[in-house]
Amino acid sequence: MSSQTPVKMAVIGTGLIGPRHALSISANPEAQLVCIVDPNPAAKSVAAKFKTTLYPSIADMLSSPHKPDAAIVCTPNHTHVALSKELLDGGVHVLVEKPISTDVASGHDLVTHAEKSGLKLLVGHHRRFNPYVVATNRALEEGSLGEIIAVNGLWTTFKPSPYFDPPTEWRRTSTAGTVLLNLIHEVDIMHHLFGPVVRIHAEKTVSQRGYDAEEGAAILFRFASGVVGTFLLSDAVPSPYSFEQGTGENPLLPRAAQDFYRIFGTDASLSVPDMRRWSYDGAKEKSWLEPLSRKTLDVEMATPFDLQVAHFIRVVRGQEEPSCSGQAGLQAMIVCDAVRQALKDGGAVDIKAVPKL
């Protein structure tokens, strides 16, 4: 066990994801949950559960004896930039939930603000730490599939009506459609695995709810590496094909264990999360006339949120660089903004300014 003083942490917001982060912080001996910030009266029960102090605002927290070293921002999307800047100005390192912002300009402003502050800004794309993503990345780094040619992805499920009702009616707005709430996760994973996207084309699915928030799209990606990909996105269809239902990552959603990614290389293909690698290994030649062999890759199970908090601690201590920096989070936002532009205007959208990931 480390002899270092635990990193003092705060959780900002107690909606769906805030208590999950609080649980990971509380379970890590290298961290101390010093407080929670949320003006909602319902937050009192969350603070009581974790036996920590509750403050109604960041300003109150910063002027209190419980000022943290680092904070995780888990509030509605449109508040991410303002609250993160307030924390940075108060001398607090920040991990902000995705998306980093609701538009590219404000996201860029936050990244610049963090750079000037000299503090760390991370974006909560926790799926980089998911065991299936880790195993997939390891297979790619080892060259198990050969040169990657193409990828196919699915995120298709059904969100019920209460998901869009008060107090979360903001999910009906154009700042909270399935592109920013769900596809942004997938874009970050693809960046993590295949490098930056440089061109997209997208076609919108039929709207069933009638909200401003889009419900889905069919998307074509081109990566700087030359890899091409297709992705089908929808939050309004009965389907088992999504990251959450495929991996079982979210315990609130029944696990279906169906594949949601298929990666195609010159030597083999891989489906995720069943981790089946198909190849002509052992065949006379590489040919569709030969039988394919199947191998299941190993996965070391762990909890992504716990691993992300542990990583955040090491970043705050200067032991690691952010896995998903503000710049990387902004790049995912840039691609999602391009998707939304394509859905609105049609045609292909080139992503000319590609920050280093």
Same-domain pairing of 170 and 222: yes
Could you tell me if residue 355 is inside a domain? no
Rounded alpha-carbon distances, angstroms, from residue 173 to 184, 211, 344: 16, 7, 15
201 & 266 share domain: yes
> Would you list the DSSP string of 64-95?
STT--SEEEE-S-GGGHHHHHHHHHHTT-EEE
Amino acid type, 135: A
**Does 59 lie in the same domain as 17?**
yes
CATH of the domain at 293: 3.30.360.10
Q: Which phi and psi (to 5°) does residue 22 adopt?
A: -60, -40
Does residue 245 share a domain with residue 311? no
- Looking from the CA of 88 toward its CB, the CA atoms found within 13 Å total 24
357 domain-assigned:
no
Domain of residue 97: give its range: 7-127+305-324
Residues 86 and 159 in one domain: no
171-185 pLDDT per residue, tens: 998 878 999 889 999
In a shared domain, residues 171 and 158: yes
Query: Does one domain contain both 182 and 247?
Result: yes
- Which residues in the chain show pLDDT less than 70? 1-3, 352-357
Pick from 237, 267, 269, 233: which is nearest to 153 by CA?
233
Residues 199 and 294 reside in one and the same domain: yes
Query: What per-residue confidence (pLDDT) applies to 136?
Result: 98
Whether residue 98 is found in the same domain as residue 228 = no
In a domain, 155, yes or no: yes
In a domain, 18, yes or no: yes
Q: Are residues 119 and 194 in the same domain?
A: no
The reply to whether 165 and 93 lie within a common domain is no
Asked if the structure places residue 250 within a domain, the reply is yes
The pLDDT assigned to 354 comes to 44
329 within domain boundaries: no
Asked whether residue 1 is assigned to any structural domain, the reply reads: no
Domains of the chain: total: 2
Q: Tens digit of pLDDT for each residue in 76-118?
A: 888 999 999 999 999 999 999 998 998 899 999 999 999 999 9
pLDDT the model gives residue 1: 39
CATH number of the domain residue 71 falls in: 3.40.50.720
- pTM for the complete prediction? 0.90
Q: Do 314 and 246 fall into the same domain?
A: no
The strand pair at 261-265 and 31-37 is best described as: unpaired
Position 3 scores a pLDDT of 62
